[in-house]
Amino acid sequence: MRHLACRTLLAAGLLGTTPAHADSTPPASLAQSAVSAYEAGRLDEAARLFERAARAGNRLAQFNLAMMMFRKETAAPEPDAGWRWLRRAAGAGLAQAQYNFALLYDRGSGVARSLPTAAEWYRRAAEQGHTEAQVSLATMYYVGHGMGRDFAAAARWYLAAARAGHAGAQYIVASMYEAGDGLPADLRQAEHWYAQAALQGDAAARAKYEALQDRPREEER
């Protein structure tokens, strides 16, 4: 499972609007205090604050509380509590929670494995711009993982992740352009995406880019 969401997420407008807690402390403030406690190693305090914010409807607190439960960083929770909090955060539209929820079903971790359910939650996160979800969904389409193979759909999601800067997706998109696999054969586009991946330190992408540079230009016509 992924690590707890960091401070930048708390400040990035992902919390949504939630009602004030009964003690008049806003859920967002409780969640922020919980993160501070977690980073200071005060796990019991963090869990209590996350739970208060989570019960008030704060989806990021729901996600973080679930992560603490999955990692056994809380006092023994009731069975399936982590799953339920993660489900609530995912249902509230938090992309990271949707991605993690998809992983549970993809791997059959704590739940009965269901690739169609995994694909649906990957899709929800992917549509919000979650690059790892985009890559996971693209791969399911590309290899026919729990669904019929669909190279065009795979290319669409790989391209989305590539444009967002995902080096692995950039390499795959380049190879798809090079082979005309799900995308029209286009060596210039292949060069472009190999170059983008190479700029992020992908040695294989650099080698592929240099090999394309050595091809006679008439192959592009």
pLDDT of residue 195: 97
Whether 159 has a pLDDT exceeding 70, the answer reads: yes
Fold of domain 129-221 = 1.25.40
Burial environment of residue 28 by CB neighbours within 10 A (0 to 12, 13 to 18, 19 or more): buried
Per-residue pLDDT reduced to its tens digit, 133-143:
999 999 999 99
Mean pLDDT calculated for residue range 11-40: 65
pTM of the model: 0.84
Of the candidate ranges 67-71, 156-160, 207-211, 217-221, the one whose mean pLDDT is the lowest: 217-221
- Homologous superfamily of 1-117 in CATH? Tetratricopeptide repeat domain (1.25.40.10)
- Ordered by start, the domain boundaries in the chain are 1-117, 129-221
DSSP state of 145: S
- Do the domains 129-221 and 1-117 match in fold? yes
Give the alpha-carbon dihedral of 150, 155, 160, 162, to 10 degrees. 140
- Which tops the pLDDT comparison, 21 or 220? 220
Neighbours of 73 (CB within 10 A): 15
